[in-house]
Structure 1
Amino acid sequence: MNLDKILAISGKPGLYVLKVQTRTGFVAESLLDGKKITVNLKSNVSLLSEISIYTHEGEKPLTEVMQKIAAKENKGQAISHKEDNATLAAYFKEILPDYDEERVYPSDIKKVLNWYNTLQAKGLVTDLAPAAAEAPEETPAVEEKPKKAPAAKKPKAKKEEK
């Protein structure tokens, strides 16, 4: 599994896996407790594959950052997100030396480490593959298409007899 189906839902703790897309939103399963929830389209939802970290040269995709953490930790647990801010900043500086300290807040570092540790605990870190090395998967997006009304049958004209 890659980060394409891993979600962070605003106001909900932890991470979720996208299961099914519905007409009014989608169904997601919590990585923490396995419970399924329905999420409407008005909720603020972020795909982890779409998140980037600010660096001085631009932005680094979260996938790359998590790969660097996995490489440093030999695919094991990272430090706890509950460490003090100075420890977290020093750790993140080892992972991503050029991250922008002014735009990446301690709360962002805590989220990244918490998300990494959650994915690692579920055994999903080994599946984090570099985006450039991945072969593009042909998984079409589920789209709701309006159903067509059945074609109206034309009444057959009766032959008039004279």
Structure 2
Amino acid sequence: MNLEKILAISGKPGLYVLKVQTRTGFVAESLTDGKKITVNLKSNVSLLSEISVYTYEGEKPLKEVMSAIAAKENNGAAISHKEDNATLAAYFKEVLPNYDEERVYASDIKKILNWYNTLQAKGLLVEETPAEEVVEAVVAEEAVAEKPKKAKKVTE
């Protein structure tokens, strides 16, 4: 899953995809309705790839948390972010048993589950193939394609 160009913009509902940077900000496209908006540099914007969740051992990147949710749900949708706080906390405890319950609030869990379900519905949570495997596959394909062909005898 690649969260590099997925944005959460303060004051705007939902998630956005970074499309183009401009001199005064950037253009983003909503994942919910596909509308494009311009965002200035003064807006409070967070890249999902830069967000982490507090645990007792340190911080866990959001990508790993979403991977854990995907593993728990067999890449399906998670529970609704509209469940009661106790249900959400119990669910999150199953996904990330060592999350810091004092610093991760119910609102944070709701956001993470809402984001997960949005990305899952759009098919953006597909696990990426590691770069090494891609390179090996390309090299193997090229090796098959470059096998010498038998020359045909030309008779005159």
**Which TM class, normalised by the smaller chain length?**
0.7 to 0.9
| CA deviations over 1:40-92 (Å, ceiling 9, x no partner) | 00000000000000000000000000000000000000000000000000000
Give the number of aligned pairs. 132
Q: Structure 1 counterpart of 2:76, which letter?
A: G
| TM alignment of 1:68-87, pairs within 5 A | 68-87=68-87
Larger Rg: 1
Query: Which whole-Å CA distance do the structure 2 matches of 1:20 and 1:124 have between them?
Result: 19
Query: Which whole-Å CA distance do the structure 2 matches of 1:122 and 1:134 have between them?
Result: 23
Runs (5+) with no aligned partner, structure 2: 133-156
Query: Which whole-Å CA distance do the structure 2 matches of 1:34 and 1:86 have between them?
Result: 33
Query: Which whole-Å CA distance do the structure 1 matches of 2:124 and 2:5 have between them?
Result: 12
Runs (5+) with no aligned partner, structure 1: 136-162
| TM alignment of 1:6-155, pairs within 5 A | 6-127=6-127, 129=128, 133=130
Displacement of 1:134: 5.7
After TM superposition, the score normalised by the length of structure 2 is 0.82
After TM superposition, the score normalised by the length of structure 1 is 0.79
Query: Which whole-Å CA distance do the structure 2 matches of 1:53 and 1:69 have between them?
Result: 13
Q: Compared with structure 1, are the counterparts of its residues 106 and 33 closer, same or farther at alpha carbon in structure 2 (3 Å cutoff)?
A: same
Q: Structure 1 counterpart of 2:123, which letter?
A: G
Q: Give the secondary-structure state (helix, strand or coil) at the position aligned to 1:125.
A: coil
Q: Give the secondary-structure state (helix, strand or coil) at the position aligned to 1:126.
A: coil
Query: Which whole-Å CA distance do the structure 2 matches of 1:80 and 1:6 have between them?
Result: 21
Query: Which whole-Å CA distance do the structure 1 matches of 2:75 and 2:36 have between them?
Result: 27
* Shift >6 Å, 4+ stretches: none
| CA deviations over 1:19-57 (Å, ceiling 9, x no partner) | 000000000000000000000000000000000000000
Query: Which whole-Å CA distance do the structure 2 matches of 1:15 and 1:116 have between them?
Result: 10
Displacement of 1:125: 1.1
Aligned-residue identity in percent: 84
Q: Structure 2 counterpart of 1:48, which letter?
A: L
Cα RMSD over matched residues? Answer: 1.4
